[in-house]
Structure 1
């Protein structure tokens, strides 16, 4: 016979769990019009008997039962929406009214121990995509500062949000970002989620550029800086070439004018010196007509004298 104090000590050290909480609940989440699966893995055979219960704050009702290898839905609210196998219970076309505690109890044979699992089902509305609110805070020499806010729908509960930028995650709904030349290729991704699913929205740096005309012009300069620099270089080169061409043309015109002036000066000088001096225009020498006639007469007279001298010498030689 055991001592009473031993029994009392055992009750203190190893208390029995409260009634109805022997098996902890397994949290299961589903979406409206979706499907959930309660995994039990109890197995079934010809002697297996199972009962599915649903418990809410108001009542506990039977949903379905499994007897002699046959599954029967006993609650009209779940008719044509449930199925049962040796490993899981499935409920389709969920509604928010399906939320509550579900219990699956199975007996492999009439005299065997009961196997039981409890599930807490929560049915959520599907999440719509989030909305991104973009606010320009200001611009300076380094870039433009923005506030990005990931807006979640008011109708959804237990919704969390986070941002992902260049593979870095931020568990906040509102972030501050700096849009600069180095971040033009960046994408800002917003995630919202509840226990049943998630939705995603994103905004690119170029979309931030369209927030105002000022930042749009700055983004255009950042995005096309190479073309702008090349255009400036080409413009400067064309200006230099035009200046050189103008200077060359001016020098040539001046040279031609100076050459004409020199020619006029020479002509005027020859006219003043009289007919005895040669007048030179370019590379051609022009003598006065009187001088030419005199030279021709002198040549003719010289030739006559030479002829007479030869005739005299011949006469003397013949004698």
Structure 2
């Protein structure tokens, strides 16, 4: 066990949100070594972005873009920060973050707590350029025009991040998931496409796992119609599997971690079938090993993201996943991630 994994074990003894804050602080100040170069078989691209490996960090850990330097040294191929809203907001009442240790899961109802777009943009202006960084956009809880909030975020962050993600799938902001309906989505994506103008910074859309196959298909078609560059599948779930054992299992909010695995994989399958290779897919939800990352890639994902698994496995998980993923690619005769993903079609 490395020192970083030992630190993760100590943090798990603290209240979940306190530990989260300390982890961000440690990533800001710890003298982390530069990671070793990745196996060339892991190099890939997503929506024109060149990635040293396909293992990314999902949004939610670094909400304000405060620790991008440290996160970049953990070996991720790309790092997504946020969600950020135009105006700063405190989020929901505490406690709002719960570890379900027996289930290797997390429930959160954070409510897009963040310092706001201006503070976020100022940090991205100073971000390290050695790692691909995405900015996850949200809408303020009390805004009357949620689509306008996403347009504001897109315009303000132009040129500051390598890609932006439109998060319409958090369960913790009232009315947000309604934006996944076709009419609302057409309005939102149309306004975003207009706001992009000639800027070709990739725009991704992050969807919920609690959708039917037909609903995923409609989202895929809307994304293609409005020049969305990739789909992130998927966010946390409102479902509570009967297998949950933790005393926190009935807490309100979005469930992530191991119990989300099957639902997220099913959503990915639906998106892969609907897109037929026309839209890049990024898999997230319950990914906790190189084997699971490989399974999602073989199901059609061109990259993966993780977050909750880091809480239980520690940051050493990133390197272990990459080594296992490279070994599986080579064992099955694939020369690249893209080749393995396209074999699913």
- Provide TM-score, normalisation by structure 2: 0.17
Q: Which has the larger radius of gyration?
A: 1
Q: Which structure: greater helix fraction?
A: 2
Higher RCO (C-alpha under 8 Å, 6+ residues apart): 2
Structure 1-normalised TM-score?
0.18
Q: Which has the higher strand share?
A: 1
